[in-house]
Amino acid sequence: MINTAASAGTWKLGDLTVNRIGFGALRLTGRAAFTSGAGADRERSISVLRRAVELGVDHIDTAAYYFSPRLSANELINRALAPYPDDLVIATKVWPARNPSGEWWWATPSQLRGQVEENLRQLGRDHLDVVNLRVPPSAKAGSIADHFGALAELRDAGLIRHLGVSNVTPAQLAEAQAIAPVVCVQNPFGVGSASGQRELLRSCGEQGIAFVPFFAIAGAGREAGAGGGEHETVLAVARAHGATPAQVRLAWTLRQGPHVLAIPGTGDPGHLAENVAAGTLTLSDADLDRLRSIG
């Protein structure tokens, strides 16, 4: 039997039901999509997207700034999947952006409409299912009210269906919720994460908000990927289950609560199948205790 993304159960992003194992589009454009390095193979990336949907993935996370010198994640998604399945939910992010040479810039509130419209154009859609306001490091401790308020206006105008926030503090989440409903929080989280992120995850569950970790597999490797050496405890748990370290990290992530979604990304068909299969991996309480001890 083929493992599918439905094996880990579902959650709702507003009125949109998604399988808890989704797909992150960053690596479709190459392992180092934010650098001038070599990109991925176009046809292989398209085949990975189509295979993901065949395996039950109905939640794809992307952004207009996911591009390498030759490939754009949004345009790959459009090429591979349009006309889109009725149940496919595509979430994107705005505020950060990159110019054609790859240099970063951050939008003012009045520029967010242009970023939303660029995502619409690249994806070939008339509205976006979920738009996350991705808070840049420079605004980590500041107010997000003006930017989130601008997105709320675009939601009222029908360009956006649901809103989320990304890379936020609890205070920023509360600030956003006072303006418009928030269906998800995207923050870095995984095995060994700081206690503050665990508290925010728990708070989201209490409020019925999806918590969507990024870097759940990559950890400290962040955009560059897992790479390097894996923690011995993760390796030991993986050996005990005949699983990969990435599967252990994903299974651990999903065990943190029914509102926790996973969006692992890959440009490799084999890794895609392994990631989806992680939804069937059952970790024991002893496994969870061992993994919890990683700091």
Q: Rounded CA gap, 280 and 278, in Å? A: 5
User: CB of 140 within 8 A of CB of 106?
Assistant: no
| 128 touches 136 (CB < 8 A) | no
Six-digit token string for 231: 């923690």
How far is C-alpha 290 from the chain's CA centre? Answer: 26
- Tell me, yes or no, if 66 is annotated catalytic: yes
Phi, psi (degrees; rounded to nearest 5) at 228: 50, -160
Where do we find the tokens 């949907």?
A: 53
Q: Which of 11, 23, 65, 66 is catalytic?
A: 66
- Token pair, residue 134, equals 């991705």
What are the Cα distances from residue 225, in Å, to 27, 170, 218, 220? 9, 27, 5, 8
Contacts (Cβ under 8 Å, ≥6 apart) of 102? 34, 35, 36
> Distance (Å, rounded) from C-alpha 39 to C-alpha 30?
4
Q: Write out the two tokens for 31.
A: 């392992």
| Region at 225 (left for phi over 0; alpha for psi -120 to 50; beta for the rest) | left
- As a dihedral over the C-alpha atoms of residue 60, residue 162, residue 34, residue 170, rounded to 10 degrees, the angle is -120
Q: What are phi and psi of 162, to 5 degrees?
A: -140, 155
Positions annotated as catalytic residues are 66
